[in-house]
Amino acid sequence: MSLSLTKDPAALLPYSWDWTLWLAGVDDSISTATVSVPEGLTAVDSPVVDDAFVTQRVSGGEVGSTYKLVCQITTVGGLIDERTIDLTIMNR
């Protein structure tokens, strides 16, 4: 199940994925992370990994559109997983 959030088209905001519980369950930690930002949105800088959190700053979007931000991590132990945020653009 993905997380659903809203964003104003003029906003530049950070979006975070919390991997704490999942990482505790596999007794591992994040080695690398990538965030896929679809056309219509702009990734501002690279994703930041802070312990079990991955954060990506995002701008743009067209009012009425919903975009999927996908965070994929690779752990030190070689596991790969991903999570999605559905980001709906609306004037706020």
Measured distance CA(10)–CA(74) in Å, rounded: 32
Write out pLDDT tens, residues 38-92: 999 999 999 999 999 999 999 999 999 999 999 999 999 999 999 999 999 999 9
The CATH class given to the 3-89 domain equals mainly beta
pTM assigned to the model: 0.94
Q: Between β-strands 3-7 and 12-18, what pairing exists: parallel, antiparallel or unpaired?
A: unpaired
Amino acid at 70: V
